[in-house]
Amino acid sequence: MDNISNTTGLGGETEGREKIFLATLFPKLTQWADVPWDTMEHCHIPKNKLILGFVQCTRRKLLHFVTARSELISTPITSNTKRTVYIQYHQNLNNEPRVTTSIENNRCIILGIETSCDDTGAAVVDETGQVLGEALHSQHKVHLLHGGIIPPIANRLHEEHIVEVVESALASSGVSLADVDAIATTVKPGLPLSLCVGKNYGKKLALDAGKPFIPIHHMEAHALTIRMVEKVEFPFLVLLISGGHALLVLAKSLDEWKIIGQTIDDAPGEAFDKAARRLKLRNIPECSSMSGGQAVEYLSREGDPRAFDYPTPMWKYRDCSFSFSGLKHTLYKNIEKLEVEYAIEGGRVLPNIRDVCASYQYALTKHIVRQTQKAMIYISTRELLPEENYSLVVSGGVACNQYIKTALRVLCHKMGYTLFCPPPKLCTDNGIMIAWNGIERWKAKTGVLYSKKDIEAVDIQGKSPIGEDLTDDVRSLGIKVKNWIKFR
């Protein structure tokens, strides 16, 4: 704990007088300076209050103080006093000078770095979830030209942009590297060549600056992002749907995750991206710079989800596994047939593209909703979540999809769950979620590496299961669903 309660020595200097002391938090309040009242005038601190302690000073430009009566006073500040503490000093009833000041237990600022796939992201976040600064460089357009992510190209682009992205995040935060408490970086799972860039750079920054290093699991970061913006307590159910994963996980604590279902082949984002490529959606001007999922969702808005009947995978199975590859092949076959029917050649797209997209999106959604419904039944049968607090967190790039979210909302409503989903910007890959996972680990004092030896030993892992796989237990239960939730 950064504790500044022990201020021996101040009494002698200031006895009998009222003063304000200004201290710079780092390094640890060793330098004190007296500042006159008028420096604080613009802070509107009521002069008649005995202010015992500084609690926190945030980028919202508010200083919070605790008074002698444990009241909290918040006051706007105008100067750049982010890392500065003001303490008003008073005599107590016995005429003894006393300053008992402490800052919040877990006060911290973390720099997060993300390079697991095709986005180079960095962000500076504080323990309240305040994003002090951020930067993101997306390789999406380059990979679009190649028809998919080519790992060596992703590696080169991460190398080219990592320095500017991290520097830009720091610069926009107004926080210097020296003020950062630790550096959190994605090291698993992901594309090995991409992960290496962030891992090497993050480790180097930590070692050069003498800062702790926090290795981050990309999927854990997706799952925990919601806790930055909403109060979601462990344990909760998480549905992670992204370009690389489909996972139903029980989040028990920062370090305890149980897999209830996962994909046996493709990920849903991949199913969207491959469909978009095959449907040549990039040739539709409005869709030219969208991700595959975004483009399919956009076109589906005016399409008929009943126009084509795509099968729902795995619903008869007594588990919560996902499979998207069969659905993709059914779509491919349907496209071939339609292209012959409409004599489609070259870069032209199908005339009924909106119906094709809407029907495909409906089938993907139905699959996701059904497997999630089974997971909810498994959870209640095994009593894995407290009944009074059934929460479903959905995250990952595909969680940006409004249609899927609406269907999940219906499911949650019927099953007695509350649905939580981070804003779209936080669902796709970014540095903020990595910094936030760093904050969670810092506060919980778990997974933070301090020694040079430990930091140097960190390596990447392309594959890394988020936790223990409960699929066999799910199957052993033989879940039967009496009423499938309808969302259409």
Give residues in contact with ligand KG4 (CB under 6 A): 117, 242-244, 269, 272-273, 291-294, 297, 396-398, 400-401, 428-429
Name the binder of 431 from ligand KG4, Zn ion, none, CB < 5-8 A by kind. none
Shortest Å distance, C-beta 397 to ligand KG4: 2
Name the binder of 314 from Zn ion, ligand KG4, none, CB < 5-8 A by kind. none
Main-chain phi, psi angles of 239, to 5 degrees: -115, 115
Q: How far apart are CA 316 and CA 481, in angstroms?
A: 9
DSSP 82-123: TTEEEEEEEE-TTS-EE------TT--EEEEEE-SSSEEEEE
Name the binder of 359 from ligand KG4, Zn ion, none, CB < 5-8 A by kind. none
Pick from 273, 297, 429, 440 the residue near Zn ion by CB under 5 A: 429
Residue 52 vs 364, nearer CB to ligand KG4 = 364
Q: How far apart are CA 457 and CA 187, in angstroms?
A: 12
Shortest Å distance, C-beta 325 to ligand KG4: 15
Residue 243 vs 303, nearer CB to ligand KG4 = 243
Shortest Å distance, C-beta 422 to ligand KG4: 11
Sequence length of the chain is: 488
Shortest Å distance, C-beta 396 to Zn ion: 6
Name the binder of 272 from Zn ion, ligand KG4, none, CB < 5-8 A by kind. ligand KG4
Residue 68 vs 410, nearer CB to ligand KG4 = 410
Name the binder of 400 from ligand KG4, Zn ion, none, CB < 5-8 A by kind. ligand KG4
Shortest Å distance, C-beta 243 to Zn ion: 7
Nearest to 89, CA basis, from 37, 51, 33, 45: 51
Name the binder of 189 from ligand KG4, Zn ion, none, CB < 5-8 A by kind. none
Residue 185 near residue 147 (C-beta atoms within 8 A) = no
Name the binder of 291 from Zn ion, ligand KG4, none, CB < 5-8 A by kind. ligand KG4
Shortest Å distance, C-beta 24 to ligand KG4: 39
Shortest Å distance, C-beta 284 to Zn ion: 26
Nearest to 274, CA basis, from 366, 370, 144, 153: 144
Shortest Å distance, C-beta 458 to Zn ion: 20
Q: Hey, what are 423's tokens?
A: 């804003």
Name the binder of 293 from ligand KG4, Zn ion, none, CB < 5-8 A by kind. ligand KG4
Residue 116 vs 361, nearer CB to Zn ion = 116
Cα–Cα–Cα angle for 408, 191, 428, nearest 5°?
A: 35
Residue 308, phi-psi category: left (phi > 0), alpha (psi -120 to 50), beta (remainder): beta
Q: Hey, what are 193's tokens?
A: 């060549």
Applying CB under 5 A, what is the total number of residues that bind Zn ion? Answer: 2
Q: How far apart are CA 162 and CA 170, in angstroms?
A: 12
Distances (CA, A) of 172 to 5, 140, 169, 272: 32, 23, 5, 34
Residue 75 near residue 44 (C-beta atoms within 8 A) = yes
Name the binder of 220 from ligand KG4, Zn ion, none, CB < 5-8 A by kind. none
Shortest Å distance, C-beta 315 to ligand KG4: 21
Residue 185 vs 242, nearer CB to Zn ion = 242
Q: Is 7 in the site for Zn ion (CB under 5 A)?
A: no
Q: Is 242 in the site for Zn ion (CB under 5 A)?
A: yes
Residue 53 vs 190, nearer CB to ligand KG4 = 190
Q: Is 257 exposed, middle or buried (0-12, 13-18, 19+ CB in 10 A)?
A: buried
Q: How far apart are CA 93 and CA 18, in angstroms?
A: 14
Residue 198 vs 396, nearer CB to ligand KG4 = 396
Residue 291 vs 361, nearer CB to Zn ion = 291
Q: Hey, what are 246's tokens?
A: 């489909």
Name the binder of 305 from ligand KG4, Zn ion, none, CB < 5-8 A by kind. none
Residue 294 vs 321, nearer CB to ligand KG4 = 294
Q: How far apart are CA 117 and CA 115, in angstroms?
A: 6
Shortest Å distance, C-beta 427 to ligand KG4: 7
469: helix, strand or coil: strand
Nearest to 119, CA basis, from 195, 171, 227: 195
Residue 57 vs 219, nearer CB to ligand KG4 = 219
Question: Who's near 247: CB < 8 A, 6+ residues apart?
Answer: 219, 238, 239, 240, 241, 259, 261, 262, 263, 466
Name the binder of 127 from Zn ion, ligand KG4, none, CB < 5-8 A by kind. none
Question: Who's near 276: CB < 8 A, 6+ residues apart?
Answer: 282, 287, 291, 292, 293, 295, 296
Q: How far apart are CA 241 and CA 249, in angstroms?
A: 11
Shortest Å distance, C-beta 350 to ligand KG4: 20
Show the binding pattern over residues 201-240: x = contacts Zn ion (CB under 5 A), - = does not. Answer: ----------------------------------------
Residue 404 vs 412, nearer CB to ligand KG4 = 404
254: helix, strand or coil: coil
Binding footprint of Zn ion on the chain (CB under 5 A): 242, 429
